Chains A and B, each alone.
Chain A
């Protein structure tokens, strides 16, 4: 089926070329980082994880979101998602690939990465994160490929694949839970030390991931006339609405706990993020923007009339993606490290090479996604499924 990626319109090739250029520039930045060390980033002794780990965290959520299609289809025999499910699975592959790349570029000694396998440490959540991420990549490659091949041959997928499909449902929850545990179990990090961290991660994953998928589906409709179906869009938008409502609710729970208990350590990161501390307020505008966008997106999602309006929905989804990205792609990391262990502020601002590397990895993810979707849509076209 791979040959389907080799025949495409000039637009397809131009898009891949453009992504390759972005990835190329970022790869140069990465070579620079490899030569000089992580000193070329904006990270510091006090803010020791930055944009790389933040993007990794966000994208784990995007990867996990495929389950929002797989679960209704296979557990509840909901037919409407059948047409779209392969897009979700392939998006998960692209997202997990980006996650793994973000971890690699964040390592001080990437050539020693295999030490995690050579010296397995079951007490370290990072060990388990490595297992669940690679496992999820493998499961989605397998399930996606086998089901697509069956679709191409116009036969039912083999029975044994059912096991892996059910496994993928369980696994999707595990990748985001384990990633949340990376943060949630650390003493002294008040913003992260919360039992609903995993629940928050899942809620944000199940709104942001499907929102990105739906946005891309709208794009496909314009570009290649692939229509996932009114019913599928309607159901997915409903899932996004509930997940986003939960996401915002969970965040408000954190705010209540911090401010009603009035414990300074618990309040400090939220105060820093939303109003600044000691005159440092670099991220305040972003956080307020995220808060406003989150509520606007909810206001546009909850009334069915607005939600089912396909002129409005892409904008709503865009707001939602931006809000969740700021919350997890910036706020979660910065809030965890600021104020620092001495209750002072060391401000974190990503450097230019750091941003170039981040863009490059997103470009590589987009390349993987483009090629995989090209193959999937090629097969669907061949057998006349759209």
Chain B
């Protein structure tokens, strides 16, 4: 059957219209989802949630640094996260990490002199701070990284990401990793989690506060592995474990002067 140019143009036109229409619908849905920082009014959660899903309007974390004296606990939290999310183990400056440990001086870059030795030698768990006012979301040119308006989690769409790494330049916490190479050969096949996808090269990734576990009624993997050293809960709920910890203990957040309003607190 021979196709005339007119047939081809008709088909192309129809395709273009379909794509444009789906884009419009998609754009509206996206606009409804997009959080714009600050205290945005809570938006209804999507309907397709698990029955026992955990609900919160501003998820946050409190890390009791006093309890991270054992390097094994640090490793346990890291493994729990990285094995759950199939984060590849790559050595060197092109490494990927969602949660890791650093010294006091690296964590709190505006620090005091003459600190207690116990504090200076402690390990501080670092991860995405799920900022209320996330610079990574502000700079992303494709909305591949976005803040969920109903629970404050800063999420990544790794199929949308073009790998421009603007978010990495913008994040003041160094919380983002880039797949410089194909990550899959760096995964141990015997330890892979079949329920979580692996990534392709050329996209940025980071901690997601385990959104997939929250939807199933589970706590984030690092929280579960931490033996109570990491608390997770709704910062908007005065009766939540995190708010009780904040009310009773002295806590600090990283680089508060930058105005990003991190949702991760550290008990010193």
Chain B residues touching A, range: 35 or more
Q: Which of A39, A118, A182, A337 contacts B23 (CB 8 A)?
A: A118
For residue A229, CB closer than 8 A to chain B, the reply is: no
Contact B163 A108, beta carbon cutoff 8 Å: yes
In A227-262, which residues have CB < 8 Å from any B CB? none
Contact B162 A340, beta carbon cutoff 8 Å: no
Q: Which residues of B contact A344 (CB under 8 A)?
A: 106
Contact B139 A37, beta carbon cutoff 8 Å: no
Chain A residue nearest to B181 in the complex (CB): A39
Q: Which of B27, B180, B203 contacts A43 (CB 8 A)?
A: B180
Chain A residue nearest to B135 in the complex (CB): A187
Q: Mark B27-50, 1 if CB is under 8 A from A, else 0.
A: 100100000000000000000000
Chain A residues touching B, range: 35 or more
For residue A341, CB closer than 8 A to chain B, the reply is: yes
Contact B139 A124, beta carbon cutoff 8 Å: yes
For residue B255, CB closer than 8 A to chain A, the reply is: yes
Contact A108 B139, beta carbon cutoff 8 Å: no
Contact B143 A119, beta carbon cutoff 8 Å: yes
In B170-185, which residues have CB < 8 Å from any A CB? 170-174, 177-182
Q: Which residues of B contact A106 (CB under 8 A)?
A: 164-165
Q: Which residues of A contact B181 (CB under 8 A)?
A: 36-37, 39
A109 to B180, CA, bound (A): 11
Q: Closest Cβ of chain A: how far from B94's Cβ, in Å?
A: 5
For residue B213, CB closer than 8 A to chain A, the reply is: no
For residue A125, CB closer than 8 A to chain B, the reply is: yes
Contact A346 B258, beta carbon cutoff 8 Å: no
Contact B161 A127, beta carbon cutoff 8 Å: no
Q: Which residues of B contact A45 (CB under 8 A)?
A: 93-96, 168, 174, 177-178
Q: Which of B23, B107, B143, B162 contacts A113 (CB 8 A)?
A: B162
Contact B174 A341, beta carbon cutoff 8 Å: yes
Q: Which residues of A contact B144 (CB under 8 A)?
A: 115
Q: Which of A47, A107, A187, A342 contacts B170 (CB 8 A)?
A: A187
Q: Which of A39, A48, A113, A346 contacts B165 (CB 8 A)?
A: A48
Chain A residue nearest to B170 in the complex (CB): A186
Q: Closest Cβ of chain B: how far from A130's Cβ, in Å?
A: 8
Q: Closest Cβ of chain A: how far from B260's Cβ, in Å?
A: 6
Q: Closest Cβ of chain A: how far from B266's Cβ, in Å?
A: 15
Q: Which residues of A contact B102 (CB under 8 A)?
A: 342
Contact A116 B162, beta carbon cutoff 8 Å: yes
For residue B202, CB closer than 8 A to chain A, the reply is: yes
A176 to B113, CA, bound (A): 42
Contact B168 A48, beta carbon cutoff 8 Å: yes
For residue B201, CB closer than 8 A to chain A, the reply is: yes
Q: Which of B140, B177, B201, B204 contacts A124 (CB 8 A)?
A: B140
Q: Which residues of B contact A341 (CB under 8 A)?
A: 109, 171-174
In A155-211, which residues have CB < 8 Å from any B CB? 182, 185-189
Q: Which residues of A contact B96 (CB under 8 A)?
A: 45
A379 to B160, CA, bound (A): 47
Contact A346 B142, beta carbon cutoff 8 Å: no
A340 to B169, CA, bound (A): 10
A49 to B163, CA, bound (A): 11
9 contacts between A and B (CB under 8 A): A37-B179, A45-B93, A107-B162, A107-B163, A108-B178, A112-B142, A121-B143, A124-B139, A187-B259
- Chain B: residues with CB nearer than 8 A to chain A? 23, 27, 30, 92-96, 102, 105-107, 109, 135, 138-144, 160-166, 168-174, 177-182, 200-204, 255, 258-260
Q: Which 8 A-B pairs have the closest CB atoms?
A: A108-B163, A188-B172, A108-B202, A44-B93, A341-B174, A39-B181, A39-B180, A37-B201
